[in-house]
Structure 1
Amino acid sequence: MKKWFLLAALAALAVLAYVAAGPYLTMHRIEKSIAEQDLDGLSAQIDFPAVRAGLKTQLQRKIEAETPELLKEIPLLNQAVTTLSSKVLEQAIDPLMAGQLLYIMQGNAPDLDFGLGELVQPVPSSTSTEKVFENAETDYIDNRTFVATVTHAESGTYRFTFTRTGLNWKLSGIELPMLATDAP
């Protein structure tokens, strides 16, 4: 009886250790996939719908924050700006996710042009050789949410959010410094 109890306790401890180490293992897998240019390995570590939704929200807030007050005061114009920005975001997010996510994760600003030109420029080749999560400050928010904060001297502070489903952790959000606003 004692042997079964000890085995069950050891198994439970092993599962807890695996779950606790999960975000660090995911960060390592992301860095390894980037270094090896393994897009399939990278996609297995990222919850693309969640990252896409988070980036869309950040872009929407940035556009709203930079909309002139005059347009905000006129309801019809404010609605037109909101509708137009929503359509622009729908066209910009997928190319951003497909073409520039790796570049952004290395601390580079995305090349977005919300004018009349192309929405997304070709991805510049990155000269960064440092790991994405090198010198990251990490913290568990709760038992299902983990945050890694990385500061780049040139471009600012990036916040990577990881969430757990079952025993697996995935990157589920990226907060970009160039999209930060003063609004809450």
Structure 2
Amino acid sequence: MPEPSIRVARPDDEGELALLDRETWSTLHAVTPPPRPPYDSFFSERSGPRDHRVAEHGGRIVGYVRLGFPTELASNTHVRQIRGLAVAEGARGLGVGRALVRAAVAEARERGARRITLRVLGHNTAARKLYESEGFVVEGVQPEEFFVGGAYVDDVLMGRSLR
């Protein structure tokens, strides 16, 4: 697969992104219950199309990354946070996740952020390796923060400087 093309999400992507979100749901990364009908909207007031970058291949969306703020505090606006990342099953291992992480880092820089952070479940080793390879470091661990899939799971806080 050639490099995926990355672009800003559009309002009309909502259905395809919502479907991707449902298809990629897993206890490997989700702390919420599995999605069930009626499904919530993918975009929200807090996280609209402008806050998402999508990866396309062959005319269809194969992944997305959501970029937001870690808090709503004015004193924290110099930090952006990756608040979601998904890659379609058929596109995994082909560089889509890496391209999306890099797009999020570039976007955070363009918006003037000094840092970018994320949270990842401790047992999600593939995601953790990807983030580490892109310069993120573990900044904290909340042991057994979540109970998912019948097990207690650590919440790993990662970040990197953008300066």
The TM-score normalised by the length of structure 2 is 0.30
Higher relative contact order at CA 8 Å, sep ≥6: structure 1 or structure 2?
Answer: 1
Structure 1 or 2: larger strand share?
2
Structure 1 or 2: larger helix share?
1
